[in-house]
Amino acid sequence: MQFKTRTHTCGELRTSDIGTKVTLNGWVDTRRDLGGLIFIDLRDRFGITQIVFEPGYNLEAHSAAGNLRNEFVISIEGKVRQRPEGTENPALETGQVDVMVNKLVILNEAKTPPFPIKDDVETSEDTRLKYRYLDLRRPSMQKNILMRHKMYQIVRRYFDKNNFVEIETPVLMKSTPEGARDYLVPSRLHKGKFYALPQSPQQYKQLLMVSGFDRYFQIVKCFRDEDLRADRQPEFTQIDVEMSFIDQNNIFEIVEGLMKILFKEIWNKDLPNIPKFTFDEAMEKYGSDKPDLRVEMEMVTLNHVFENTSFKVFNDSIKNNGIITGLLAPGCGEYTRNQLDVLTDFVKKQGAGGLIWMRVKENELEAPIAKFLSDDEKSNIISSLNAKPGDLLFILTGPKLKTLNIMGQLRLEMARRLDLIKSDAEPKLLWVTDFPLFEWDEQTKRFYAMHHPFTSPRLEDVDFMESDPARVKARAYDLVLNGSEIAGGSIRIHNADLQAKMFKALGISEEEAEHKFGFLMNAFKFGAPPHGGIAFGFDRMAMIFAGEKSIREVIAFPKTASAVSIMDDAPSTVDENQLKELHIKIR
């Protein structure tokens, strides 16, 4: 269909254009008939311009406009005029003018959409996803996708400017050691063999350091076939970074530089220096390795208060290397027994034995366990938690990490109940460092690498790798924004002896190491530089920057929690012949 291409976008006309003949292309956003006049808001990605059909101005165009419906695609020619006094729309950038139409061409008609193309429309997410191409027309989705575009450009510009090299790594790779979650791709040319889609380009980026590229980055799709939680996608986007000849501080500097620019360009905020917490600090203060610092409440470890207690529960806990942790709920002293029961249930569901609570009175702690505590202990609790009359105190005790974690959950639950996170709260970014190198698995009764087996221990802890693995900290770090981990990384082991020690500590035999990590281990024998890196979860970061609660709001074509694309019905059955070619059949 022949049509005149636009002279201006729908977001462009201003009073300085008055009198100009223009051609606009766009979608009918809304249409109003006022007596003989037809007003149409014409929409494109750049904005909305009001166009006017008046029989006296052009009868043919006016008559043709009678057929227009919402979402029709049209091309119009007309003349820009000042809007009549009192009809200006200050909400629109083009709101001082409109266009008197003398020619209308309908480029395409449109059926009535399944939901109106506007924000705040009640529609099931399934319907939105089925008609994603219409959902994406809504202003909020346009805004999110444009913001994401901006983030891509900022990130790449930043790394380019800092001498990082963008390198693409393979998507069809070898199945990795954590293979159980790999998506597999049957090979047609090699019967019975499979490629795997990368869960991350970890091994490739380490190889690129061996290759001497020194600084690498890539914004890259990764894949994980896990049982999906609400906020996961089978394919997700990662900003992948690796550097040579550096220590942790170099990584921190580079990342802070990026975050400062993102804060400024996306949020127009100045990012203060990013605080650092060790894993132990974060756990003791916030009961989480990804604490939300928008909530100011802090947990307090009370072990020192009960060193000589006669209260058996605390005494036992201390003897067993457990922890006693307290949390102040300011002004909650009037919580009813019923409210306290609900909170007790909450912590029990997380695995706690029970919840100790205390109401702070003028000269007393009112609590079921008060009678077991000495006056010293009581006043010590009050001063440690900085409690005031009218406050409520919680205490949990038990095995350290588990108990801290539950108290961390209670902290967030209280923050919700007290509405402590305002929608305009300042965003809070922090580093968590010095993670444990190993994680004990109760089921298999062995240690696993918390990060991955190439993560370097803190050099001062190397000697404990055999004798006391639990005490060894890793040179690993996470970046946390508003309670979400948005990036994580580590300094890698580049030394063959240390790597051997690590495998030994993990109970991985030389043979197994060779089988699982052979080509990387081999590469390390030819001169590997000290190196480390980090990877950002781009989707989640975009979600937070967009102020959204689901990553699906910042992904153009997301999948559901069961990994289905409702729009095109993927995954789907395929032709038997195709499977034959791939040498596979369905069980």
Considering only residues 473 through 532, tell me which ones interact with a second copy, judged by CB under 8 A.
Answer: 494-495, 498, 519, 523-530
Residues 21-50 binding a second copy (CB under 8 A) are 25, 27, 43-46
Burial of 293 (0-12, 13-18, 19+ CB in 10 A): buried
Extended beta strands in 149-214, E state: 165-166, 184-186, 194-196
Residues 52-71 that bind a second copy (CB under 8 A): 71
Among 160, 345, 441, 510, binds a second copy (CB under 8 A): 160
Q: How far apart are CA 407 and CA 420, in angstroms?
A: 17
* Among 136, 418, 420, 500, contact with a second copy (rule: CB under 8 A): 136
Q: How far is the CB of 444 from a second copy (least distance, A)?
A: 17
Closest to a second copy by CB, 338 or 562: 562
Q: Does 1 engage in binding with a second copy (CB under 8 A)?
A: yes
Contact set for a second copy, span 267-286 (CB under 8 A): none
Q: Is 552 in the site for a second copy (CB under 8 A)?
A: no
**Residues 422 and 298 sit within 8 Å (Cβ to Cβ):** no
Q: Which of 13, 246, 262, 487 binds a second copy (CB under 8 A)?
A: 246
Minimum distance of a second copy from residue 137's CB (angstroms): 5
Contacts of 345 (CB under 8 A, 6+ apart): none
Segment near a second copy (CB under 8 A), from 82-90, 238-246, 257-265, 309-317? Answer: 238-246
- Non-local CB neighbours of 127 within 8 Å, separated by 6+ positions: 114, 115
Going by C-beta distance under 8 Å and a sequence separation of 6 or more, which residues neighbour residue 130?
114, 566, 567
Minimum CB–partner distance for residue 49 and a second copy (Å): 14
Provide the minimum distance between the beta carbon of 503 and a second copy in the complex, in angstroms, as a whole number. Answer: 18
State in angstroms the smallest separation of the CB of 136 from a second copy: 4
Q: Which of 87, 320, 342, 557 binds a second copy (CB under 8 A)?
A: 557
Part of the chain binding a second copy (CB under 8 A), chosen from 226-234, 309-317, 399-407, 444-452: 226-234
* CB contact at 8 A, 271 and 255: no
- Minimum CB distance to a second copy smaller for 140 or for 495: 495
What part of residues 432-471 is at the interface with a second copy (CB under 8 A)? 459
Smaller CB distance to a second copy: residue 244 or 409? Answer: 244
Identify which of residues 106 and 487 has a Cβ nearer to a second copy in the complex: 106
Contacts with 56 (C-beta within 8 Å, 6 or more apart), sequence order: 36
d(CA 34, CA 395): 68
CA-to-CA distance for 277 and 272, rounded, in angstroms?
15
The answer to whether residue 559 forms part of the interface with a second copy (CB under 8 A) is yes
- 547 Rama sector, left if φ>0, alpha if ψ -120 to 50, beta otherwise: left
The per-residue DSSP string of 13-24 comes to: --GGGTT-EEEE
71: phi > 0 → left, psi -120 to 50 → alpha, else beta; which? left
Joined together, the tokens standing for residue 18 give 């008055």
Contact residue for a second copy among 68, 80, 145, 255 (CB under 8 A): 145
Binding to a second copy (CB under 8 A) within 166-195 occurs at 166-175, 179-180, 182-195
Among residues 381, 500, 77, 428, the alpha carbon closest in space to that of 271 is found at 428
Q: Which of residues 93-112 bind a second copy (CB under 8 A)?
A: 107-111
Task: Return the exposure string of 194-211: e unless at least 16 CB atoms fall within 10 Å of the residue's CB, then b.
Answer: bbbbbbbbbbbbbbbbbe
In the numeric block, the tokens 């444009």 are attached to 146
Interaction with a second copy in 354-413: which residues (CB under 8 A)?
none
For 532, list phi and psi in degrees, rounded to 5: -165, 170
**Beta carbon nearer to a second copy, 107 or 425:** 107
Spatial distance between the Cα atoms of 97 and 228, rounded to a whole number of angstroms:
50
> Is residue 425 near a second copy by the rule CB under 8 A?
no
Is residue 208 near a second copy by the rule CB under 8 A?
A: yes
Judged by CB under 8 A, how many residues of this single chain contact a second copy?
Answer: 127
State which residue, 107 or 470, has the beta carbon closest to a second copy: 107
- Minimal distance, residue 105 CB to a second copy, in Å: 11
In whole angstroms, the minimum distance from the beta carbon of 449 to a second copy comes to 20
